[in-house]
Amino acid sequence: MQTTTPKISLVIPVFNEREVIPELFKRLEHVAVSHSENFQLSIIFVDDGSTDESVNIIKQTPTNLEFKLIQFSRNFGHQAAVMAGITNADGDAVVIMDADLQDPPEIIVEFVKQWQKGFHVVYGKRISRDGESLFKKTSAATFYRILHWLTEVEIPFDSGDFRLIDKKVADSLKGMNEKSIFIRGIIAWMGYRQTPVEYHREARFAGNTKYPLKKMIALASDAVLAFSEKPLRLISKIGGAIFIAAISVSVFVLSAKIFGSGYEAPGWISIMLAILTLSGFQILCLGVIGSYVLRVYRQTRNRPVFLVMDEYNNYG
C-alpha cells in the first residue's frame, strides 16, 4: 500500500506526430490535474527518428507537466522506443501509451486503481476499434488468435502495449538483454499478477498510422520466433508426413509393376510436380530455420537496441 502519492512514469513513443502532440498535452494535463491527489504523472517522450517538427513542438508546447524527451539518432522502431522509455523511467509504476490518442489517456486512472489493488500488470483490452478498416480489424483479430495457438506463453487477446507495469516488472525488463524485442510477450512470459481493463479504442486523432501491414508482419514474426518452437516442430511433422506419403506411393507403384495390375505411373509431369513440391517445402524449412538463426546472430552481435542522440527535460 502506497503511503505517499505514487509517481507514474508515462512512456510515449513518438514518430512524426506533429498534428497530435498539442491535443495529447491537453488531455494528459487534464488527467494529471484532475487526479493529482491520486498520483503524480511524469512523462518520457521517446522520439523514434521523426522527420517532421515533432521534437520542436514537444519542446515548445507550454505545459505544467513534468516531461523528459529522449531523441534517437535514427528510427529504431516502436519496441526499441518503448524499451528506451522504460529504461529511463523512475516511477513506482510505468504506463506505456502511443502518442496517436487511439488509447485514451483517461484510462490511466483505471490502470492505477487496479495496480493499487495489488496487480503488477494492468493491460488495456480493446472491446472495439473505431476508425479502422475491416481488413485491419480482421487481421488484428487473426493475429492474436494465431499467436495464441503458436506460442507457449499466454499473451492476452486484443491487447497491445497500452498498459501499466509495476516498478518490479520494469526493473526485470531493464535487466534483460533481448535484441529482438516483443514487449507484451516478454511481460506475459514473466508471469506477474495481471488483469485487464476494457476500453473502446478511439480513431486516430490526426495523421496516418505508423504501423502499416509490413511492420505488422514483422512484429508478428518477432512474436512467433521469440516465444514459440512450434514452427520448427511443424516443419518436422510435415516433412515426416511427406516422407511417409512418398514411401507409400513408391510401394504402390512398385507393387503395381511387379504384380502386373495394369497401372502405369504418369510421366514427367507427375515427377516434376513431386520435385517442385519437395523443393518448395525444403526452401520453406530453410527460411524458418534461417529466421531462428538470424535471431541468434543478432543476439551474439550484441549491438545496442537503440542509440540516443539528445536528451531534453523541462524541469531543470
Distance CA 88, CA 122 (A): 20
24 and 142 assigned to the same domain: yes
197 and 266 assigned to the same domain: no
89 and 189 assigned to the same domain: yes
What does the angle CA 241 – CA 247 – CA 253 come to, to the nearest 5 degrees? Answer: 135
Please state at what angle helix 213-227 crosses helix 268-301, rounded to 10 degrees: 80
The answer as to whether 26 is a domain residue is: yes
For the chain, what is the domain count?
A: 2
Phi and psi angles of residue 3, each rounded to the nearest 5 degrees, phi first: -95, -20
The answer as to whether 1 is a domain residue is: no
The answer as to whether 15 is a domain residue is: yes
In this predicted structure, what is the pLDDT of residue 1? 44
The answer as to whether 40 is a domain residue is: yes
180 and 270 assigned to the same domain: no
Q: Look up the CATH number of the domain holding residue 44.
A: 3.90.550.10
76 and 158 assigned to the same domain: yes
Q: Hey, what amino acid is at 21?
A: I
Which own/partner contact pairs does 136-143 have at CB distance under 8 Å and 24+ positions apart? 139/213, 139/216, 143/216, 143/220
Question: pLDDT digit string (tens) for 27-74?
Answer: 999 999 999 889 999 999 999 999 999 999 999 998 989 999 999 999
Distance CA 121, CA 124 (A): 10
185 and 267 assigned to the same domain: no
Domain that holds residue 241: 230-301
Regions of the chain with pLDDT less than 70: 1-3, 129-133, 135-137, 139-140, 144, 147, 152, 204-220, 225-229, 243, 249-250, 253-254, 256-257, 259-270, 272-273, 276, 316
The answer as to whether 2 is a domain residue is: no
In this predicted structure, what is the pLDDT of residue 136? 67
61 and 160 assigned to the same domain: yes
The answer as to whether 309 is a domain residue is: yes
164 and 72 assigned to the same domain: yes
In this predicted structure, what is the pLDDT of residue 59? 93
253 and 223 assigned to the same domain: no
The answer as to whether 117 is a domain residue is: yes
In this predicted structure, what is the pLDDT of residue 47? 95
pTM, whole model, 2 decimals? 0.75
291 and 270 assigned to the same domain: yes
184 and 269 assigned to the same domain: no
Residues across the chain? 316
The answer as to whether 157 is a domain residue is: yes
220 and 259 assigned to the same domain: no
Q: Hey, what amino acid is at 30?
A: H
Question: pLDDT digit string (tens) for 177-212?
Answer: 777 778 888 888 888 999 999 988 877 666 666 566
Distance CA 7, CA 41 (A): 6
In this predicted structure, what is the pLDDT of residue 169? 94
